[in-house]
Amino acid sequence: MAHICLIEDEQKVAAFVSKGLEEQGYKIDVANDGASAKALLEKSNFDLLILDVMLPDINGIELCRQIRSIDTKTPILMLTALDQIQNKVSGLKAGADDYLVKPFHFVELLARIEALLRRQKAVETTAHVLVFDDLRLDTWSNIAERTGRQIALTAKEYTLLELFMNHPNKVLSREYIAEQVWKIDFDTGTNFIDVYVNYLRKKIEKGFNNKLIHTVIGMGYILKSEK
């Protein structure tokens, strides 16, 4: 069953929602503020986030925006006691997928969750193959190919390539790459990012005239076609 992160500072609401969802078979982790929510998100992968707008240390809309800057896929359902159009618009613009106003009936919350999970499953079913130019990456089989020729990659090279293919035509800094692939802060005194990018570049570009991974001096790397 799906793993859900509930970010809610009202103890009674958090207890009510988590108990109800656990009875439906869902696995629930609860965070009572933004800081603890970020800690949970760093160590676990969730299928859905339920995010309250009113948190003690950060506005939920701003937290949603921060989450979306590093996670574009996980569905986010926002909860709020503020029944105003502007709050709904702000939440959706920040990256929320749906919006539910307190007080709500549990059956409605459950229906919204089920709908978001169905939608996400449909998206994942059709989007497991990433394609850029003549490069293809199947995220189910973990197989990379270029013009039909399979490319042997190490685990880190695969994760690095997946990161590039999920962000085509965008400059990725060394700091961002270190955080996403190695889950560490980048040490400017080391060149391991450059070393691994060079390994990957050689493997996917060997024998091809069209280079795909380019260095942007002073900024990082970008996956783009020279055509």
Predicted confidence (pLDDT) per residue in 79-129, tens digit: 987 766 677 788 888 999 999 998 899 999 999 999 999 988 776 665 678
| Polymer length in residues for the chain | 227
Question: Could you list the pLDDT tens digit for every one of the 227 residues in the chain?
Answer: 799 999 999 999 999 999 999 999 999 999 999 999 999 998 888 999 999 999 999 999 999 999 998 887 899 999 987 766 677 788 888 999 999 998 899 999 999 999 999 988 776 665 678 999 999 999 888 899 998 899 999 999 999 999 999 999 999 999 999 888 888 776 666 788 999 999 999 999 988 888 999 999 999 999 998 76
pLDDT at position 91: 85
Topology of domain 129-223, per CATH? Arc Repressor Mutant, subunit A (1.10.10)
pLDDT at position 105: 94
pLDDT at position 164: 95
pLDDT at position 126: 58
Q: Where in the chain is the domain with CATH 1.10.10.10?
A: 129-223
pLDDT at position 87: 72
Q: Where in the chain is the domain with CATH 3.40.50.2300?
A: 3-126
Topology of domain 3-126, per CATH? Rossmann fold (3.40.50)
